[in-house]
Amino acid sequence: MYKRITINPQQMNGEPCIRGLRIPVATILILMSQCHTIEEILAFYPDLERDDILEALNFAAHTVTEREIPLLKSA
C-alpha cells in the first residue's frame, strides 16, 4: 500500500522510515508540526523527495484512524 514507507526491525528500532533511509516518518511529522514547509524539509534532507513527505503524511493519517485513542473528559 505504501511504496515509500519501510519498516525494518533492524533499522531505527523498527520505526517506519522513508524508503529505507534512516529518516523516520515521525521526523517528517514533527517538522511539519513546527510549520516547516515541504521545501524546507527537502533542503534539510536532500535524499528526500516531495512524494516521500506526502506519503509520510498519508501514512500517519491512516495509522491514526486505525486505532482507538482514549480522550480525556473535560472537567
- Sole residue written with cell 534512516: 22
Stretch (H or E) spanning 17: strand 17-18
Q: Give me the pLDDT at residue 7, please.
A: 95
For the chain, list the domains and their CATH numbers: 5-65 (1.10.10.10)
pLDDT confidence of residue 1:
83
Q: What is the pLDDT of residue 39?
A: 98
pLDDT at 17: 97
What pLDDT tens digit does each residue of the chain (75 aa) get?
A: 899 999 999 999 999 999 999 999 999 999 999 999 999 999 999 999 999 999 999 999 998 886 666 667 665
Cell numbers given for 33:
508540526
- The pLDDT score that the predictor gives to residue 15 is 96
